[in-house]
Amino acid sequence: MPKVTVHRKAHFNAAHRLYKKEWSDKKNFEVFGKCSNPNYHGHNYELIVSVTGNIDQETGFVMDLAILRRLIKVEIEEVFDHKNLNIEVAAFKNLNPTAENISVTIYNKLREKIRQDLDLSIKLYETPRNFVTYSGE
Q: Which of 44, 46, 62, 50 is nearest to 8 (CA)?
A: 50
For 6, 12, 35, 47, 132, the CA distances from 75, given in Å and listed in that order, are 18, 12, 26, 13, 19
Which of 21, 26, 115, 129 lies at the binding interface for a second copy (CB under 8 A)?
129
Which residue among 11, 35, 75, 100 is the active-site one? 35
Q: Does the footprint of a second copy cover residue 76 (CB under 8 A)?
A: no
63 Cβ neighbours under 8 A, 6+ residues apart: 6, 51, 53, 114, 115, 118
> Could you say which of 13, 30, 93, 111 contacts a second copy (CB under 8 A)?
13
115 binds a second copy (CB under 8 A): no
CB 70 within 8 A of CB 19: no
Q: Is 35 part of the annotated catalytic residue set?
A: yes
User: Least distance from C-beta 71 to a second copy, angstroms?
Assistant: 14
Catalytic positions, written as ranges: 35, 82, 126
| Residues making contact with a second copy (CB under 8 A) | 2-11, 13-16, 18, 20, 31-35, 37, 39-44, 50, 55, 58-62, 64-66, 81-84, 87-88, 95-101, 103-104, 127-134, 136-137
